[in-house]
């Protein structure tokens, strides 16, 4: 029998009245009513109230116990008085009359902040004392829910015939888009391991080895800057890969897994699958982003041709996009001014033109005088704009106009409260370009260099590289990208040609990806996969603004572990063992 407790703090009910029990936990609060003292004891499972009477001889001792100390209380369960019943907790109908109290771990230091308080606490303090922060009910529940979600995901993958395989955490450095975390080798001077940015190459090697369906909840390590939806350093993903599979095979599995998980834990409606498939070009035109929030009903439309001859300098030689907002005739002028200010100050636009459509289909607004009757009617018809609607105009060069229009669409949806409530809306973004022109003006891979071009070797040999599409796809939920995936390029000939177009020769492939390239010469099956970010999924399901609220021990935005003091200095002896010398930074 456990010497500290017979029950946890969340399970005693009126069926236990008359029983002698022991509970153990943290002292949440002590209420001294003079001659009667109440202790609320808390553990992972709940809260139980104990009452200390004069007859027990324990009041003087109990009154001195600091909050957040751990104690064990033994006593008899009794019903509470009717007027003191707490219907908000499972144990709210009973209390324990204390006969013995043992202090197990006394709090010796002052608390840096109040536990389970609504008061705002600085994040650096929360992270430094994360073991106290995790006592907070909201954060604790996030971590407990995380465990349930991971178990649910694992069970779903196993039920669908996937085999869980753990891949190495110490591996070789490879150029996969982000900076590696490097680990120096003690026994091989001057050489380094790297922590994996993802198990990408290993899971593809598993396909070559004959594992048919692989998955793991995989740790990934990338030395990149933090964002609200991205943790620096370490994150987890539901990594999966399927042999003899197409894009649609991956979609079928992942749609079911996402739908079931969000329905079980999200607390909102989940739009039914199959999820919409939206081509990359269509997404950039209609939504101004490849991460569209489908809760927003506004659509961006192209009207460049209509205004190509207009005598309005802001439109001349530009790509012109419009966003029609229905039935906003009564919105005050300051709203339009506010949107213009947002476009200039937050988006870097030169301005934001807008018009109202009056009942007689005439236009009212700063640029109305520049639009003749013919252009007006063409615009209203092509954009399906009606009286009492408003139109916002974004004019810029290609490549810039999409992003500007996307940001303005998003802001209009928020300011006008247009987003559909209490729903998760998923979509797939498909048909990504295989190549793009990078910032240096050179041809480069657009998405993933290991993806299969849709036209195979024929397209690589005969098409303009910028017109080649790849079997690459992203899954997006409510405007947040959960994962990228692809049908993999498993053919050495196609791989060599694909890299050659991007300016890399065969030797580069052999040196950077030796295992994968070699394995593909030994009968590789067609294979495809994806890896949704677990942390982002949980953040979405819990409606948390920051990913750090769903991770037990996160780093701060500067990639520092304030609790453990990492990164930290090491001794000269440790550095010598791994053949490292630290260069002093020039001041």
Query: What pLDDT, on a 0 to 100 scale, did the predictor assign at position 384?
Result: 94
Query: What pLDDT, on a 0 to 100 scale, did the predictor assign at position 202?
Result: 96
Which of 224-233, 326-335, 452-461 is predicted most confidently? 452-461
Long-range contacts, 176-185 (Cβ 8 Å, 24+): 176/200, 178/222, 178/223, 178/224, 179/222, 179/223, 179/224, 180/221, 180/222, 180/223, 181/221, 181/222, 181/223, 181/233, 184/578, 184/579, 184/580, 185/578
pLDDT, tens only, 419-430:
999 999 999 999
Q: Which helix (H) or strand (E) holds 445?
A: strand 443-445
What is the average pLDDT across 484-494?
A: 96
Query: What pLDDT, on a 0 to 100 scale, did the predictor assign at position 176?
Result: 60
Closest CA relative to residue 433, chosen from 486, 506, 494, 493:
486
User: 87 φ, ψ to 5°?
Assistant: -75, -5
pLDDT, tens only, 471-481:
999 999 999 99
Closest CA relative to residue 285, chosen from 429, 463, 457, 79:
429
- Residue 327 pLDDT exceeds 70: yes
Q: By percentage, how much of the chain surpasses pLDDT 70?
A: 99
- Residue 431 pLDDT exceeds 90: yes
Rounded to whole angstroms, how far apart are CA atoms 383 and 306?
A: 11
- Residue 175 pLDDT exceeds 70: no
Query: What pLDDT, on a 0 to 100 scale, did the predictor assign at position 579?
Result: 92
pLDDT, tens only, 102-161:
999 999 999 999 998 878 899 999 999 999 999 999 999 999 999 999 999 999 999 999
- Residue 465 pLDDT exceeds 70: yes
Give the pairing type, strands 269-270 and 36-43.
Answer: unpaired
Query: What pLDDT, on a 0 to 100 scale, did the predictor assign at position 45?
Result: 96
- Residue 377 pLDDT exceeds 70: yes
What is the average pLDDT across 163-176?
A: 89
Rounded to whole angstroms, how far apart are CA atoms 338 and 359?
A: 24
SS3 553: coil
Grade residue 415 by pLDDT with cuts at 50, 70 and 90.
very high
- Residue 585 pLDDT exceeds 80: no
Mind listing the domains of the chain with CATH numbers? Answer: 14-105 (2.40.50.140), 123-276+525-580 (3.30.930.10), 296-419 (3.30.1360.30)
What is the average pLDDT across 460-467?
A: 95
What is the average pLDDT across 384-388?
A: 95
- What is the crossing angle of helices 137-159 and 247-265, to 10°? 140
Query: What pLDDT, on a 0 to 100 scale, did the predictor assign at position 383?
Result: 94
pLDDT, tens only, 211-233:
999 999 999 999 988 777 778 88
Query: What pLDDT, on a 0 to 100 scale, did the predictor assign at position 159?
Result: 98
pLDDT, tens only, 16-27:
999 999 999 999
Rounded to whole angstroms, how far apart are CA atoms 283 and 271?
A: 19
Q: By percentage, how much of the chain surpasses pLDDT 90?
A: 86
**Global pTM value:** 0.92
Query: What pLDDT, on a 0 to 100 scale, did the predictor assign at position 450?
Result: 87
What is the average pLDDT across 86-98?
A: 95
- How does the average pLDDT of the chain come out, rounded? 94
Query: What pLDDT, on a 0 to 100 scale, did the predictor assign at position 324?
Result: 97
1-15, 78-92, 165-179: lowest mean pLDDT where?
165-179
Query: What pLDDT, on a 0 to 100 scale, did the predictor assign at position 218?
Result: 97
Q: How far is CA 525 from CA 67, 161, 520, 522, 586, in A?
A: 61, 18, 9, 10, 52
Query: What pLDDT, on a 0 to 100 scale, did the predictor assign at position 317?
Result: 85
Grade residue 35 by pLDDT with cuts at 50, 70 and 90.
confident
């Amino acid at each position: 029998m456990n010497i500290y407790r017979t029950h946890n703090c969340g399970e005693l009910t009126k069926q236990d009245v008359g029983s002698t029990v022991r509970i153990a936990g943290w002292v949440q609060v002590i209420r001294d009513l003079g001659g009667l003292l109440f202790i609320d004891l808390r553990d992972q499972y709940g809260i139980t109230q104990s009452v200390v009477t004069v007859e027990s001889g324990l009041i003087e001792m109990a009154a001195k116990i600091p909050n957040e100390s751990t104690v064990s209380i033994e006593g008899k369960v009794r019903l509470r008085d009717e007027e003191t019943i707490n219907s908000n907790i499972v144990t709210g109908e009973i209390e324990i009359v204390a006969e013995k109290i043992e202090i197990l771990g006394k709090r010796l230091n002052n608390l840096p902040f109040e536990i389970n308080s609504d008061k705002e606490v600085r994040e650096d303090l929360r992270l430094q004392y994360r073991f106290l922060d995790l006592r907070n009910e909201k954060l604790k529940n996030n971590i407990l829910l995380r465990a349930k979600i991971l178990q649910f995901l694992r069970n779903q993958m196993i039920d669908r015939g996937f085999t869980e395989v753990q891949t190495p955490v110490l591996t070789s450095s490879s150029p996969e888009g982000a900076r590696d975390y490097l680990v120096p080798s003690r026994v091989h001077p001057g050489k380094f391991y790297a922590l994996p940015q993802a198990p990408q190459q290993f899971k593809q090697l598993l396909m070559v080895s004959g594992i048919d369906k692989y998955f793991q909840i995989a740790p990934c390590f990338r030395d990149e800057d933090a964002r609200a939806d991205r943790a620096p350093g370490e994150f987890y993903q539901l990594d999966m890969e399927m042999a003899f599979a197409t894009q649609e095979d991956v979609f079928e599995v992942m749609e079911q897994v996402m739908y079931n998980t969000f329905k079980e834990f999200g607390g909102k409606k989940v739009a039914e699958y199959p999820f919409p498939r939206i081509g990359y070009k269509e997404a950039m035109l209609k939504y101004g982003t490849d991460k569209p929030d489908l809760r927003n009903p506004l659509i961006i439309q192209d009207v460049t041709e209509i205004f190509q001859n207009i005598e309005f300098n802001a439109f001349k030689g530009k790509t012109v996009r419009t966003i029609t907002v229905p039935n906003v005739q009564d919105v005050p002028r300051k709203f339009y001014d506010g949107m213009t200010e947002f476009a200039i100050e937050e988006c870097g636009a030169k301005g934001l033109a807008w018009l109202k459509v009056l009942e007689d289909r005439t236009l009212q607004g700063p640029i109305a005088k520049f639009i003749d009757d013919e252009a007006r009617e063409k615009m209203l018809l092509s954009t399906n704009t009606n009286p009492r609607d408003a139109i916002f105009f974004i004019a810029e060069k290609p490549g810039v106009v999409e992003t500007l229009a996307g940001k303005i669409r998003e802001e209009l949806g928020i300011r006008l409260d247009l987003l559909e409530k209490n729903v998760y809306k998923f979509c797939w973004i498909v048909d990504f370009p295989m190549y793009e022109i990078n910032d240096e003006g050179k041809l480069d891979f657009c998405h993933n260099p290991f993806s299969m071009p849709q036209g195979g070797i024929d397209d690589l040999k005969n098409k303009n590289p910028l017109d080649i599409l790849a079997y690459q796809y992203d899954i997006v939920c409510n405007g947040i990208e959960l994962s990228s995936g692809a049908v993999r390029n498993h053919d050495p000939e196609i791989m060599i040609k694909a890299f050659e177009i991007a300016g890399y020769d065969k030797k580069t492939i052999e040196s950077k990806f030796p295992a994968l390239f070699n394995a593909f010469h030994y009968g590789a099956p067609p294979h495809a996969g994806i890896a949704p970010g677990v942390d982002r999924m949980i953040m979405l399901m819990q409606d948390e603004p920051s990913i750090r609220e769903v991770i037990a021990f996160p780093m701060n935005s500067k990639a520092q572990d304030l609790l453990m003091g990492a990164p930290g200095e090491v001794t000269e002896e440790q550095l010598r063992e791994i053949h490292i010398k630290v260069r002093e930074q020039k001041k």
